[in-house]
Structure 1
Amino acid sequence: MSKVVTSGKTVEEAVTQGLSQLGVSRERVSIHIVSQPSKGFLGLIGVKAAKVELSLLPDPVHQPVETAETLPLDPIISEAPLEQLKSQSGQDPYEEAVQFVTDVATSMGLDVKVEVQHAKDSTTLHIFGPDLGLMIGRRGQTLDSLQYLANIVANRNSSSYIRLVLDAENFRERRRKTLEDLADRLAGRVIRTRKEVVLEPMSPQERKVIHFSLQDHPQVKTYSKGEEPNRRVVITLK
């Protein structure tokens, strides 16, 4: 099977299903968006599924075995030049996302500033302002939900699929460090007790941090089990 067409509530969900069916990582396929999810309540939540077509790229000379999950740790944008990433309505999708985040903050009684940072393989919307704990939420859950909606806003009229990450008060880096410390601590527990440890449900990006932190550990290994949104990382002896 060299090509699949899959559907999902979001483009990302459809892509993830396609990667699972093909059994490959994102780097091994080209992605064509057949249709975006239709707009529903407040023009944000799709009532019609997104549809994507994934085609396998030619095999490289050597393809290493993937030990971590296939989803990338950090959201990436498409390889199209930034100047080509204009929505069908002529608006910049990044500006639409920034406006959305600003409007949500205003509705929460917060005065924020949002800056867009483009890197080689990622685009981050940095949120600045007082009382950002309200936008971050417990363990970043509010920030993750806002990020999900910002991606829908950016892509609902975009001619090329883009992915955004939202950050506030450097939360993403602090959370990553916390997860890396957690992974090291739990690996030590597994070695001492000789019993596997099952972590609490995490997002794909956070699970990726755990997998990467321990992928070269000499005594333990990791894998994920369960279905979203209750998928968990398991740390066990090799």
Structure 2
Amino acid sequence: MKKVVATAKTIDDAIEKALKELNVPRSKVSVRVLEEPSKGLFGLIGSREAKVEVEYRFDPVEAAREFLTEVLRNMNVQARIDVHPQGEQVLFDIVGDNLGMIIGRRGQTLDALQYLVNVVGNRQKENHVRFVLDAENYRSRRKETLENLAERIARKAVQTRRSVRLEPMSAAERKVIHSYLQNRSDVVTFSEGEEPHRYVVVAPKEA
């Protein structure tokens, strides 16, 4: 948190002085009046200026949303960002037409933007906020695709009695595979390799 103590002839002038030093709008600060202005004796002797303490209130969701809005603008993408708090995480749903550029190959661009949004949104926050980005319902569609893949690979591993190695995936996508297959009694899953080429292995469970 950033705090500034400023003095001026009036409270409003003192606040304005502090806002200029912080370089933030009035809506993003809290103000505490430390001293009221006083004219003193005959308006001259013992006069006292107003003193205020202005504190910048960092809003992680607003900061993250503003950052993402600016990125989309620079990419010439016409879209809006719908914000959906979901427990300990916040979903930013990017709504617009032709958002393939935002999603990228297998969601790589979307994942990269999500990473940057999390960095910006949590740069001044003690309690971590997890931001999730989605566009054109990509996350749920990709999850369904990965679960179908996991099912096919598990069957193959059981039928051939051989381990099957999947292609490299992000940590989030590997988690979908592990979670989907964790309750099966006939296969086990584990990850191998080094990032960013880490992959899931599905192996038949020994009798």
User: Structure 1 length normalisation: TM-score?
Assistant: 0.61
The one-letter code sitting in structure 2 at the alignment partner of 1:228 is E
Q: Quick check: which one's strand share is greater?
A: 2
- Percent identical among aligned pairs is 49
Question: Which residues in structure 2 correspond to 1:5-16 (within 5 Å)?
Answer: none
Shift of 1:192: 1.9
Shift of 1:89: 3.9
- 1:164 paired with 2:105, answer no
Larger radius of gyration: 2
Contact 2:89 2:129 in 1 (8 A): no
Q: Distance in 2 between matches of 1:89 and 1:132?
A: 35
Shift of 1:188: 1.1
Task: Give the aligned partner of residue 221 of structure 1.
Answer: 188
Contact 2:79 2:95 in 1 (8 A): yes
Q: Distance in 1 between matches of 2:171 and 2:145?
A: 16
Detail structure 1 runs of 4+ shifted over 3 Å in the superposition. none
Aligned length: 151
SS in 2 for 1:201: coil
Question: Which residues in structure 2 correspond to 1:53-92 (within 5 Å)?
Answer: 89-92=56-59
Structure with the bigger RCO (C-alpha within 8 Å, sep 6+) is 1
Task: Give the aligned partner of residue 199 of structure 1.
Answer: 166
User: Which of these residues, 90, 97, 110, is aligned with residue 143 of structure 1?
Assistant: 110
Q: Distance in 2 between matches of 1:227 and 1:89?
A: 41
Q: Distance in 1 between matches of 2:178 and 2:124?
A: 34
Q: Distance in 2 between matches of 1:190 and 1:201?
A: 18
Q: Distance in 1 between matches of 2:89 and 2:147?
A: 21
SS in 2 for 1:236: strand
Aligned alpha-carbon RMSD (Å):
1.3
Shift of 1:227: 2.0
Change (3 A) 1:89 1:151: farther
- 1:176 paired with 2:134, answer no
Shift of 1:232: 0.9
Shift of 1:158: 2.1
Q: Distance in 1 between matches of 2:161 and 2:126?
A: 52
- 1:115 paired with 2:82, answer yes
Shift of 1:196: 0.7
Task: Give the aligned partner of residue 124 of structure 1.
Answer: 91
Provide structure 2 residue ranges, at least 5 long, that are not aligned to the other structure. 1-54
Shift of 1:134: 0.5
Contact 2:165 2:200 in 1 (8 A): yes
Contact 1:89 1:157 in 2 (8 A): no
Q: Distance in 1 between matches of 2:173 and 2:158?
A: 22
Provide structure 1 residue ranges, at least 5 long, that are not aligned to the other structure. 1-87
User: Which of these residues, 120, 129, 134, is aligned with residue 153 of structure 1?
Assistant: 120
Task: Give the aligned partner of residue 5 of structure 2.
Answer: none
- 1:100 paired with 2:67, answer yes
Contact 2:88 2:130 in 1 (8 A): no
Q: Distance in 2 between matches of 1:197 and 1:188?
A: 10
The one-letter code sitting in structure 2 at the alignment partner of 1:147 is Q
Task: Give the aligned partner of residue 188 of structure 1.
Answer: 155
Contact 2:166 2:199 in 1 (8 A): yes
Q: Distance in 2 between matches of 1:136 and 1:171?
A: 8
